[in-house]
Amino acid sequence: MSTNPHWAVAPAGPVSSALEEIGLVDHHVHGVVRENPSLESFTNMITESDRTPISLDEALNTQVGFATRRWVAPLLDLPQFASPAEYFARRIELGSDEVNRRLLGATGIDHYFIETGYRGDEIYNPAGMAEVTGAQVSEVIRIETIAEKVALSGVSAADFSSAFLAQLQQDVAHAVGVKSIVAYRIGLDFEASDPSAREVEIAAGTWLKEVESTGKSRVSDPILLRHLIYSAASLKKPFQFHIGFGDPDLNLHRCDPLLMTDLIRQFEALDIPILLLHTYPFQRNAGYLAQMFRNVFMDVGLAINYAGARSPAIIAESLELAPFHKILFSSDAWGLPELTYLGALLYRRGLGELLDSFVARGDWSAKDAIAVATAISRDNALAAYGLN
């Protein structure tokens, strides 16, 4: 066991040392890009917003930008805090394959749960990620993507519901779970009930006419989105929901998980695990729900990457109310391996420093603290998804 992890800036305590050796299970993540990104593409991917920064300097003038220059630059043979221009030039010089190899190889992630529903043609698919990382890879299926694929197949309104379920059953046969981005489409303050078959057919008819005339298949009808959720629930798979922080396509005030309480109660009765993803800035609300309901789990992925030096505060808040067997690790990285690496490194730093402080104050034993760190890092995900 290492006594001074490479990311520790002071002598490491027992938890930080233990975390250096624990292989992580990243229960929600996406693939990385296959090709060298253009300058514009890189500056877009390093921010969660879909508004591309006007320059590289602007793009990296953030917590995630500073963290990249501090922690990622040395892995590319650069000094700490190399300039944005130096960093990007070296990245391009090494090439995407080498950057992916170095950064993903340094994450210490043993098992990725890959969700490919967003711009999947630009990134490595699960098989590609397994080859690139040498790690175990499982897949999570985004239900809205399946519905949109079915809509483009020429299905009739009358047959849409059965066709969606059949396609979903086929796609999840070897997946560990399903995911909904209903938070992006209509928010989480939707009616927690499955619409009638007639309501679904009418809504599908209107939507499919739009798909036929425009060639675009984005599903945003509340009736259809509710039906997708309840249809997917019939498969009894662990169910991920996007919560909180995301790009400007969502209305953040409608992404508070407390708005899902009625749905959570129904899923609890059906014994369906609900995985609340990201949760920032609602991590305390998510922790409350994880304490109140036996089927609710949470993470603070994505926020860890983007909060950089402030990520320890977010990690600390996630441990206030949630039972420790209900908290999972995720990076929610998409596209750039920098985000995957930072998700893992900043998680280890933040959790290690927090739990070591508990031990140092005498509030926790080192044994208990290491057990909690191990559970959050890998065991809780394996249990929540029935893989242990």
In sequence order, what DSSP letters do the residues of 334-360 get, joined into one string?
-B-HHHHHHHHHHHHHHHHHHHHHHHH
Closest CA to 281 of 307, 308, 249, 248: 307
* Neighbour order of strands in the sheet with 136-142: 24-29, 109-115, 136-142, 177-180, 239-243, 274-278, 296-298
Residue 228 token pair:
């997708």
- Look at residue 9 in the predicted model and tell me its pLDDT: 54
Beta strands in the chain (DSSP E): 24-29, 109-115, 136-142, 177-180, 239-243, 274-278, 296-298
- Look at residue 207 in the predicted model and tell me its pLDDT: 98
Rg (CA), the chain: 21
- Look at residue 1 in the predicted model and tell me its pLDDT: 37
Which residues are within 8 A (CB) of 356 and not within 5 positions of it... i.e. 6 or more apart? 12, 13, 14, 15, 16, 369
Contact in structure between 329 and 26 (CB atoms under 8 Å)? yes
Residue 158 token pair:
């009358």
Contact in structure between 299 and 280 (CB atoms under 8 Å)? no
Quick one: how far is CA 38 from the chain centroid?
A: 24
Closest CA to 311 of 336, 291, 331: 331
Q: Count other C-beta atoms under 10 Å from residue 130's C-beta.
A: 16
Q: Amino acid identity, residue 358?
A: F
Q: Delineate the domains of the chain, giving CATH numbers in brackets.
A: 14-36+95-384 (3.20.20.140)
Contact in structure between 287 and 298 (CB atoms under 8 Å)? yes
CA dihedral defined by 57, 60, 62, 68, rounded to 10 degrees? Answer: -150
- Look at residue 355 in the predicted model and tell me its pLDDT: 98
Q: What's the rounded Cα separation, in Å, for the pair 358 and 173?
A: 43
Q: Is 384 helix (H, G, I), strand (E, B) or coil?
A: helix
CA atoms within 13 A on the CB side of 40: 3
Q: What is the pTM of this model?
A: 0.95
- Look at residue 316 in the predicted model and tell me its pLDDT: 98
Closest CA to 388 of 369, 372, 371, 375: 375
Task: Split the chain (388 residues) into runs of 10 and give each run's mean pLDDT.
Answer: 53 93 98 96 94 96 98 98 98 97 98 88 92 97 97 97 98 97 98 98 98 96 98 98 94 98 98 98 98 98 97 98 98 97 98 98 98 98 96
Q: What's the rounded Cα separation, in Å, for the pair 276 and 257?
A: 8
Report the DSSP beta bridge partners of residue 278: 243
Alpha-carbon separation of residue 170 from 141, 174, 195, 218, 228 (angstroms): 11, 9, 23, 21, 15
Residue 231 token pair:
């249809």
